[in-house]
Amino acid sequence: MAESRIAVIGATGAVGAVTLRLLRERGYENVRAFASARSSGKTLEGGIVVEEATPEALAAGDIDLALFSVGTSASLELVPHVVRGGAVAIDKSSAYRLEPGIPLVVPEVNGASALANDGIVANPNCCTIPLACVLKPLHDAAGLKRVRVSTYQSVSGAGAQRMEQLRAEPQEQHNLAMDWSWDGDETDEESKIRAEAQKILELPDLPISATTVRVPVLVGHAEAVWVELDDALTAAQATEILSRAPSVRVVDVPTPGDAAKTDQVLVGRIRPDRAGENGLVLFLACDNLVKGAALNAIQIAELMLGGAVSDTRSVIRQSAAAVPPVRS
Ligand SMILES: NC(=O)c1ccc[n+]([C@@H]2O[C@H](COP(=O)([O-])OP(=O)(O)OC[C@H]3O[C@@H](n4cnc5c(N)ncnc54)[C@H](OP(=O)(O)O)[C@@H]3O)[C@@H](O)[C@H]2O)c1
């Protein structure tokens, strides 16, 4: 992938800035930055100058891989153009996540599915990614029967502007919020977590109930998770299983502060669920901008492209058996 021509679309945003930093740290040099006309010509960290993401620029045929973090409506408008130009798009909005035939990928969980794409791969929601990393090994060991989750999501999940608002806000005005759209009696964030986890885990009937809450924290999402299993698993057994899981680190008490700027999902407080049979409770924290967004997308790209990339489309159609391990 080192020689790939990479475009970061949404480069001036919260996720885009982290994407550019991670690409730089991983040694990628052939990187261009795109955003809206508002940011065109702006110079970002590392000296990279922002280009306007017009349909013509994206479809010009000089991009191999396009990492999108622009929001759902802009993704719906722009992603088809870059794909038309021959690139593979990895999209972090919810535009394509539940579309049949479009892979929704957490490399540690269902990485092989990324290879069966027609130019678009979807990156899951920032709460679904860490949740799937933790649920998958527990499911493999004991079978998931039911999942309940309550989230504590940082303001960076709502973008760079909201981070600035929190920084400027007097502390006494800090509050919780449920600032998502409503989907019946749930927030759309709650229904996304359910539908996306079911798709990624390939468990379409798994009952999942979520309550999503925004907290006055800048970076890092946390989740309390209650799982009911088919077979009994002690807390010690679950701890052992999770300590071997890729991209997961078991700690005593995971916090957003400790998770910030790390690549891993921190998991702890693993204990029996005193209110359920074959139940466990755990707490996780993850940097929503890193593993919850930018890093997961880069790992998808690395998994598909495996180091080379002159003919992106042919590389991504390799057999699923060729999937290399995830680099964290
Ligand atoms: N934040 C997270 O934790 C997180 C996690 C997972 C997924 N996501 C998803 O990633 C996307 C971006 O999130 P964010 O938090 O980075 O938002 P953000 O900080 O508000 O950044 C949005 C970016 O999109 C660009 N943009 C907006 N409309 C555009 C258009 N029509 N054409 C080209 N560029 C456009 C903006 O450019 P200008 O600066 O020029 O306006 C900016 O670079 C969203 O779909 C979000 O759901 C976010």
b (16+ CB within 10 A) / e for 125-161? bbbbbbbbbbbbbbbebbebbebbbebbbbbbbbbbe
Cα 13 to middle of ligand 1, angstroms: 5
Bridge partners of 67, per DSSP, are 8, 90
Q: Where do the domains of the chain lie?
A: 6-124+291-322, 128-288
- Ligand 1: atom nearest CA of 289 is 3
Q: Determine whether 174 is an active site residue.
A: no
What does pTM read for this prediction? 0.94
Cα separation, 256 vs 265, in Å, equals: 10
Q: Name the residue with tokens 């990393």.
A: 133
Question: Ligand 1: which of 43, 54, 69 to mutate, most ligand atoms within 8 Å of CB?
Answer: 69
Coil, helix or strand at residue 83: helix
Gap between the Cα atoms of 106 and 201, Å rounded: 10
Query: 169 C-alpha vs ligand 1 centroid, how far in Å?
Result: 22
Give me the pLDDT at residue 305, please: 79
Tokens 């890093």, residue?
A: 295
Q: What's the pLDDT score for residue 322?
A: 39
Return d(Cα 114, Cα 326) in angstroms, integer: 13
8 A C-beta contact, residue 293 and residue 258? no
Q: CA nearest 225: which of 254, 205, 204?
A: 254
Atom 25 of ligand 1, nearest CA residue: 10
Task: Indicate if 126 belongs to the active site.
Answer: yes
> Which atom of ligand 1 is found nearest the CA of 74?
31
Select from 87, 89, 83, 122 the least CA-distant residue to 106: 122
Q: Is 168 exposed, middle or buried (0-12, 13-18, 19+ CB in 10 A)?
A: exposed
Q: For domain 128-288, give the CATH number.
A: 3.30.360.10
pLDDT at position 306 is 75
Q: How far is CA 7 from the centre of its chain?
A: 18
Asked whether 70 lines ligand 1 (CB < 6 A), one says yes
Residues in Cβ contact with 115 at an 8 Å cutoff, skipping those fewer than 6 apart = 304, 316, 317, 318, 319, 320, 322, 323
* Ligand 1 contact via 69 beta carbon (within 6 Å): yes
Class of domain 6-124+291-322 (CATH, top level): alpha beta
Residue 249, strand partner residues? 266
Which pLDDT score, from 0 to 100, does residue 3 have?
83
Per-residue tens of pLDDT for the chain, all 328 residues: 668 999 999 999 999 999 999 999 999 999 999 999 999 999 999 899 999 999 999 999 999 999 999 999 999 999 999 999 999 999 999 999 999 999 999 999 999 999 999 999 999 999 999 999 999 999 999 999 999 999 999 999 999 999 999 999 999 999 999 999 998 999 999 999 999 999 999 999 999 999 999 999 999 999 999 999 999 999 999 999 999 999 999 999 999 999 999 999 999 999 999 998 899 999 999 999 999 999 999 999 999 877 332 333 434 433 333 344 555 4
